[in-house]
Amino acid sequence: MSNISITDSQLNEMLEKLSLKKIEDLFKIIPDSFKYDINSLSIKEALSEQEITNYFNVLGNKNLNSSNSLFFMGGGSYDHYIPKIVDTLSSRSEFYTAYTPYQAEVAQGTLQYLYEFQSMICELSGMEVSNASLYDGASSLAEACSMAMSITKNKKIFLSKSIHPSYVDVLKTYLDPVGIKIKFFDDNEDGTTSCDTKVEDDVACIVVQSPNYYGLIEDLESFNNVKSNSLLIVISDPISSSVLKSPADCGCDIYVCEAQSLGNYMSYGGPNIGVLASRKKYIRQMPGRIIGRTTDVDGKTAYSMVLQTREQHIRRDKATSNICTNQGLLALRSTIYMALLGNSLYDIGKICFDNCQYAADKISNIKGFSIYRNNRSFIKEFIVKSSVSAKSIQKDGVSKNILIDLPVNDLNDNKILLSFTEKRTKEEIDTLVEFFKSYE
């Protein structure tokens, strides 16, 4: 809301109505000891709009970001190229809201793009049904586990240790109050998840992230041999999914992901957009809204909300979630992005893979640096172990306009998390390699 200050004539008019002579008389009731002497403040003269814009641009340019640095940060939020048409179309006035239409069927354009979003997510994941988006990847995981608990009537879940730590934190925040019991699989020596642990019949779900937090691809199909009566929940990256065997083909029952990579900016960590898709037989346990396509009385194509299992829409004891208004605008951006790229999503994933392998080849030949667990099964990010403090390397990198990541669960201060999207060039990677060589 704009703040338009009053004019001197308006101020005098108000004072006259109050039978006061000056503005100080209005605050006379307040003891002087509580007042701040405004004359003691060192306030400069007012600036024009152009001067204010220039002032804050100068301040903002002191910060490093993905536009003015060599950017190798990842860990859940990625610097992918976003075609300008995504901004142009998503900013149109008829689309520019994330809110749920109160008369949903009147907003056919909104319902159609949400339907297309669901369809593309199903095509990408191989799943049969998808909802119209959730808050982010972490909350999507929590909703998926809640969904599995509702389906199986069990409260125990098995997690891979290689899931993003922040996802696990959000999961606990969501489900600790309902008595969730969490167990973890052990790790293999190569950094992937071991499925040697016996999974009891009273387990609601198994949760595996692939590529995992370390960037490594998991053998998802192996978990079908141990899951017993539980459901397999897969967390994935949508760009990586474009070059991997689909989660559905690997036996996945519920698919979740963070779709920030699909046409949405990092924006200092949010807002993000969550995805949840599953097999059709679980559709009535799915949270959020599901858009369907039908025909109207005139035989024309029409879209409607076929399922919305929110407690305000159906009986509370039958509701699956309170999700309703969510990330519709970001879902639009993802829809435009996926429609624009089409099969070229594979090309994006392939470039990320090639960049990763090129960087890994170079870095593994630097004395004091090695690839985590010596496992090269990654697509767009991986962990590097260093003989030098990772925090000191990160600090030095900032001074050279190079931004790298540290794993949030690294207690040894010797691991660096590097991400290589399609935006990174070989020249940029070579610059990073030369920077690391300075520590030999």
pLDDT per residue as tens digits for the range 356-380: 999 999 999 999 999 988 889 999 9
pLDDT per residue as tens digits for the range 264-289: 999 888 899 999 999 999 999 999 88
Q: If we measure between CA atoms, which residue out of 405, 407, 381 comes closest to residue 393?
A: 405
Element (H, E) at 429: helix 426-437
Cβ contacts of residue 417 below 8 Å, gap of 6+?
A: 73, 74, 75, 214, 215, 381, 382, 383, 384, 404, 405, 406, 407
pTM above 0.85, yes or no: yes
Mean model confidence pLDDT for the chain: 92
Q: What are φ and ψ of residue 278, in 5° steps?
A: -155, 180
70-82+343-437 adopts what CATH topology? Aspartate Aminotransferase, domain 1 (3.90.1150)
Parse the chain into domains and list their residue ranges: 70-82+343-437, 84-341
The CA distance from 130 to 62, in Å, is 42
Can you give the pLDDT at residue 1?
55
Give the pLDDT band of residue 39 (cuts 50, 70, 90).
Answer: confident
The CA distance from 195 to 271, in Å, is 34
What is the share, in percent, of the chain residues with pLDDT greater than 70? Answer: 94
Out of 3.40.50.300, 2.120.10.70, 3.40.640.10, 1.20.1630.10, which CATH number does the structure's domain 84-341 have? Answer: 3.40.640.10
pLDDT per residue as tens digits for the range 207-263: 999 999 999 999 999 999 998 899 999 999 999 999 999 999 999 999 999 999 999
Which of 58-67, 164-173, 250-259 shows the lowest mean pLDDT across its residues? Answer: 58-67
Can you give the pLDDT at residue 197?
83
Give the pLDDT band of residue 385 (cuts 50, 70, 90).
Answer: very high
